[in-house]
Amino acid sequence: MSSLEISEPLGAQPTAPPTVTKAAFLANGNDRAFRQMVPGSLALAARLEAIRDGFAGLIGLTGVQYTILIAVNHRQFEQKVSISGVAAHLHLSGAFITNETNKLVRLGLLVKEQDLEDGRRLVLHTTPEAQDRLAQLAEVQGEVNDKHFGPLAEDENFEIFRQMMSGLVESTDRALALLHGLIPRALASGKLNALEAVSRQSSKSPRA
């Protein structure tokens, strides 16, 4: 028999356990399509971050500094921009945003001023230097972003994707909370104790 021949019907072959259970994610009982989507999502996230870091590098900033700066620059023309508002907008902690905005202040790109209507709150503004850097970057951003998100330009694709992304961020937060809650139960069952021991041992091993 040729090594390429299958000796048993496909249905009798062993299969990996599905990693999702909702019927919408399964086809003929398997999660193959879902498993194809996950690496694609990871690849998109990595490339999105690489493009963000490329934009940042052009104006002498780190990726997260650029993200904060452009968020403040756009939102300040619509509303008062606070540290808590930026943190909520970027789904990051207030402490982290405070630390990074302090760096941007020292770079002369952000100003923190006391809110005239609420003295307990600080309002963020971009400086003329920051606005000049972002204005020079905008032409490059336009070309790159049009190419990057080109597949979303047809029909209702962009609006659908935008709404789905917002929902996925929220569902991912819930999934992370669920994972953290399930870990103790999984370890208590004894099924994952061996994996935990291997993980601990690996973390202690010297890395090349």
Q: What is the pLDDT of residue 197?
A: 56
pTM, to two decimals? 0.79
Of 125, 122, 120, 99, which is closest to residue 110 (Cα–Cα)? 125
CATH annotation of 38-148: 1.10.10.10
The pLDDT of residue 33 is 92
Question: What pLDDT was estimated at residue 202?
Answer: 55
Query: For residue 9, what pLDDT is reported?
Result: 47
- Coil, strand or helix at 27: strand
| Tokens 């493009």, residue located | 51
The pLDDT value recorded for residue 12 is 54
Instruction: Give start and end residues of each alpha helix (H) in 7-59.
Output: 32-58
Fill in the amino acid letter for 103: K
Note down pLDDT in tens along the chain; length 208 residues: 444 444 444 555 667 888 999 999 998 888 999 999 999 999 999 999 999 999 999 999 999 999 999 999 999 999 999 999 999 999 999 999 999 999 999 999 999 998 888 777 889 999 999 999 999 999 999 999 999 999 999 888 999 999 999 999 999 999 999 999 988 888 887 766 655 555 565 555 544 4
CB neighbour burial string for 142-169, b if at least 16 within 10 angstroms, e if fewer: eeeeeeeeeeeeeeeeeeeeeeeeeeee
